Amino acid sequence: MKVKVDDLEFEKMISFEAIEKRTAELGAILTEQYQDSLPVFLGVLNGCFVFMADLVKQVPVPCQIAFMKLSSYRGGLESTREIIEELDLKIDIAGRDVILVEDIVDTGNTLRYLVDKLRALKPKSIKVCALLYKPDAMEHEIPEMQYIGFEIENKFVVGYGLDYKEQGRNLKDIYQLVK
């Protein structure tokens, strides 16, 4: 099935059913690993909101939820490599276990920036839970990346929170750009 988002055409890559199944698996792992903690799930807006909502429903341990907003794409198909902080962290994470929830990790530039920023706030631990990971695009070593939903090819994707020109986030499935 193909969909049009703004001026581009996309084809289904990952079904909602597969996303649901993998999210439940990740939730079970996080539940086991953080059952004796009060972790902070820190979402990176806007893309993480769908995944994070579904993920935290799979983790029945006491937790807190917070958000930050960073941007580096600004409507295009490639990162501008300039990171802009649009919403800063509003809670104290010192001494806390932080689970950084990302929709997608490609070059790792934004994630490396964010992990370094959070480290300065002295949390007990930082682990990254990313729905999608593009290993062929990665430019940084990020040992904090511990939980990955799906490894995908280095293709532009939309749906399930991911966008193109702020559109397509509401699609249930994940779609890749048709070339």
Q: Which residues contact 82 (CB under 8 A, 6 or more apart)?
A: 72
Q: Please give the Cα distance from 63 to 25 (Å, whole number).
A: 18
105: β partners: 133
**For this structure, is 106 an active site residue?**
yes
DSSP annotation of 168 reads S
Contact (Cβ atoms closer than 8 angstroms) between residue 142 and residue 115: yes
List C-alpha distances in Å: 148 to 37, 43, 60, 83, 173.
Answer: 21, 15, 20, 23, 17
Selected catalytic residue, list 54, 106, 163, 173: 106
List C-alpha distances in Å: 135 to 28, 115, 138, 142.
Answer: 24, 18, 5, 11
Catalytic center residues: 106
